[in-house]
Structure 1
Amino acid sequence: MLRSITTRRKSLLRFFLFVLVLLVVRHAFLSPTPSMPKPPSPDDVASSLLAEKGLQLQSLKVIQSLWAGYGYICQLNASPSTKTSPDSSGQTTRSTSTANSGISTPLEGQPGSYILKLITPPPAKPEDESHIRKILSYQVEQYFYTHLAPQMPASIPVAECLASINEHHPDGSSTTAMILSDLKESFPLAGEKREILNATQVHAAIDWLASFHGFWWPKVKTLNRALLVRPPLEEAQLRQLHAQHGKSTMPTTVWLNGGYTYLSTRRSEFSTLAADHDSEWNEPLTDWIEGDVSLAEMVANVLAPREKEQGWGPTEEYVTLIHGDVKSENLFTTASGEDVAFYDFQYTGLGLGVCDLAKLFTCSVPLGLLTSSTRVPRELGMQPEEEALLRRYLAKVKNTARKGYDWDIFVRHWETALVDWLRFQASWGFWGNTEWLEARVRHIIKDENWRQGIIGNRTYAERGSPVA
């Protein structure tokens, strides 16, 4: 009898435990759970920013989704608002305690076509370098359009910023947005793919870059390098330290090292190349040739801009502001192709102008403008076609900056930039004029004078002379 009662009690206990588990599971799957705030819609953001400028949204069309679904690029049409704007004076744009204010421009109150760039990414992950790089790049671009672009003359055309916001939310997410003038109003042809650029457009692109580099060359010395953006992981650590010590949010300016391919931000890809013994470029670029330093690391050291406290680099005298992502997809041209306007300034920062040229020549210039050879040989020195483009650039950049730049020094810088650009492609993936690039670098790294100049950089601080 006692055993029967005990058995029934155990059965009841198992039943109640089973019911309890079902209730817990049901609650976990069916009850509402906290979720991330819904990102603002492009229509809402555009309407809000336009209202501050005395405009109202008429239509909006999404023309592109951003990397990893982080936002949108939209074309919109606006007309003067019939309502009184709370910011009718037009002195400033919307800002918050954690926002960078935009600037008013001559576009204010004018109807027409505009471009909205809206970025609403998820919170940053501490070790996700690609994610952090992208988040920082959008803020860098906003700084360029709101603070640097207004300083540039009309002869170096870029989009004008009508309004912008950069808001950081308590959950770690953010909203960054800009309304820009529509470049296609004056530059109707998109550069798109490499094969579309003709000789006239290539010359116009080189002239624009020379003017841009020449304009900023004498001016970059006024930038406070302590405030420039470091490589992504380093910058994230600095900002975390600031927050832990209760310091104010670090402002985002431009990159200390412009571009997104420099070695200190591509260490994982470089490690992959160093481990790939089947790659032609494994040994010449990653093997140690001077103590424990590889040729690729020496090249990167020559090109890298630095803070004064780190000691000026061997190319410091020639450092300017570079675009950082030069390719035909990032420009528009006039119908004749004689004038261009670049956009997408996410990787703008300090560097040598030849670093912009290296990507342009490889990814956007037709091969026939670099060499007359129908078949690229395994090794290739500078051809007359390539030299003509480089001399065109150099003449204009010197004239714009009103500074000297010896041809031989310029060529050394150019060759060094080509080697560095190939290092990135070899570790990440080749595209563009691959045969030409590899043939040029095979020739360059066999040049004993070039090699000694790069290796000699290790004692630069003692000699104080530029690599030439």
Structure 2
Amino acid sequence: MTEQLAEIILKATQAKSIINTSLIQELWSGYGQILRCELEEGLSPSVIVKHVQPPNQSHHPRGWNTNLSHERKLKSYQVEINWYNDLAHRCDDYCRVPDTIHLQDRQGEMLMIMEDLNAAGFPIRKSEVSIPEIKACLSWLAHFHAKFMGVKGDGLWPVGTYWHLDTRPDELEAMQNKKLKAAAREIDKTLTGAKYQTLVHGDAKLANFCFSEKGQKVAAVDFQYIGQGSGMKDVAYFLSSCLHEENLSVCETELLRFYFETLKKALVLYDQLVDFEEIQQEWSKLYDYAWTDFYRFLDGWSPGHWKMHDYSENIKNKVLKQLS
């Protein structure tokens, strides 16, 4: 914690002093830190500080430390600042996100000071979840997708998700599955050509959801890869993050039914004048394509990844058969 950073935090929060600072996590590839600062007086007892300081030489855990990777990461933090600055205030209790206190972007060094969701009633992080807890996250996603149906969002990714094909040429080149590689562009075209587009979180894994004490409500963080897309991108990726293949096979129908039932109610709640039946029909078909699109990324990025199991293999094969 530099003196300059401390001064910015104190001014933004109107606090007398920073009582304690604790590290929540290092940012991916050494690009900075996320801190919790406990404060004396001020607007709140604590805040979360996301401090982005790009390294001179990044160290990617899987060796993908290229100039393209560096530029993608920098843009992702700029996108996140744009999201918090322009659109995050539209979220409500059904798709809760942290309130924004201060944003700063100076020559690649970025600072986000935000509400501490622990203090706001979302103190639990989970690595394993029950079906009701999965449904709490799917409810968040359904309301988020309904809220931002048709919204493009200036300054966000034109196409959301961190694995989008156009941003991953190195991983495409490294793919081992030649049939899937040949179909990659057509799969992407099917997803991006969908009639109904919303804003997708873009990295909606379990680790990015904060739970209430009883697990009935959630809030979400980490909006570096938010952009346009079918809601199925978030749903498929989220389910891949919290269920193993045997659970996916058993629970897929129930969980997708719940998501769409919640989406239908949320579209009414937000007065979205769209045809739900048409959305459900289109997006239900895109679930397999969204899953296969992520599988395509894994095949180039991390061959043999644990998510490349029989369930995802079967979905990938089904999509390739449809395309052929």
**1: CA distance between counterparts of 2:197 and 2:34?**
32
3-state SS of paired residue (2:49): strand
CA apart distance, 1:413: 1.2
**1: CA distance between counterparts of 2:43 and 2:287?**
44
- Picking from 22, 25, 41, the partner of 1:64 is 25
3-state SS of paired residue (2:94): coil
CA apart distance, 1:451: 2.6
Structure 1 equivalent of residue 219 of structure 2 = 341
- Picking from 436, 440, 451, the partner of 2:323 is 451
Structure 2 equivalent of residue 426 of structure 1 = 299
Q: How many matched pairs?
A: 306
Letter in 1 for 2:257: R
1:161 aligns with 2:100: yes
3-state SS of paired residue (1:197): coil
1:135 aligns with 2:74: yes
CA apart distance, 1:132: 0.7
Structure 1 equivalent of residue 11 of structure 2 = 51
Q: Structure 1, residues 292-316: CA drift from partner, whole Å, max 9, x if none?
A: xx32111111223xxxxxxxx3x1x
1:179 aligns with 2:179: no
1:212 aligns with 2:212: no
1:261 aligns with 2:166: no
Structure 1 equivalent of residue 46 of structure 2 = 113
CA apart distance, 1:444: 3.5
Change (3 A) 1:158 1:438: same
RMSD: 2.2
Equivalence map 1:204-243=2 (5 Å): 204-218=136-150, 220=151, 223=153, 228=154
3-state SS of paired residue (1:75): strand
3-state SS of paired residue (1:329): helix
Q: Structure 1, residues 210-236: CA drift from partner, whole Å, max 9, x if none?
A: 000110004x05x4xxxx5xxxxxxxx
Structure 1 equivalent of residue 240 of structure 2 = 362
**2: CA distance between counterparts of 1:368 and 1:187?**
30
1:285 aligns with 2:180: yes
Instruction: State the TM-score, normalizing by the size of structure 1.
Output: 0.61
Residue pair 1:59, 1:78 contacting (<8 A) in 2 also: yes
CA apart distance, 1:431: 3.0
Change (3 A) 1:443 1:123: same
Moved more, 342-351 or 140-149: 140-149
Q: Structure 1, residues 102-130: CA drift from partner, whole Å, max 9, x if none?
A: xxxxxxx42312111101114799x7111
Residue pair 2:245, 2:309 contacting (<8 A) in 1 also: no
3-state SS of paired residue (1:111): coil
**2: CA distance between counterparts of 1:187 and 1:433?**
32
CA apart distance, 1:426: 1.3
Change (3 A) 1:370 1:397: same
Unaligned runs of 5+ in 2: 59-65, 269-273
CA apart distance, 1:433: 6.5
**2: CA distance between counterparts of 1:358 and 1:323?**
12
Structure 1 equivalent of residue 287 of structure 2 = 414
1:395 aligns with 2:257: no
Letter in 1 for 2:288: E
Structure 2 equivalent of residue 271 of structure 1 = 173
Q: Structure 1, residues 411-444: CA drift from partner, whole Å, max 9, x if none?
A: 2111111221111111112233623211222234
Identity level (%): 29
1:295 aligns with 2:183: yes
3-state SS of paired residue (2:54): coil
Unaligned runs of 5+ in 1: 1-40, 81-108, 169-173, 229-252, 287-293, 305-312, 373-384, 453-468
Letter in 2 for 1:44: Q
CA apart distance, 1:79: 2.3
Residue pair 1:259, 1:347 contacting (<8 A) in 2 also: yes
CA apart distance, 1:136: 1.0
CA apart distance, 1:367: 4.0
Letter in 1 for 2:112: M
CA apart distance, 1:341: 1.0
**2: CA distance between counterparts of 1:144 and 1:46?**
24
Change (3 A) 1:339 1:420: same
Name the structure, 1 or 2, with higher relative contact order (CA <8 Å, separation 6+).
2
Residue pair 2:231, 2:283 contacting (<8 A) in 1 also: no
Letter in 2 for 1:50: L
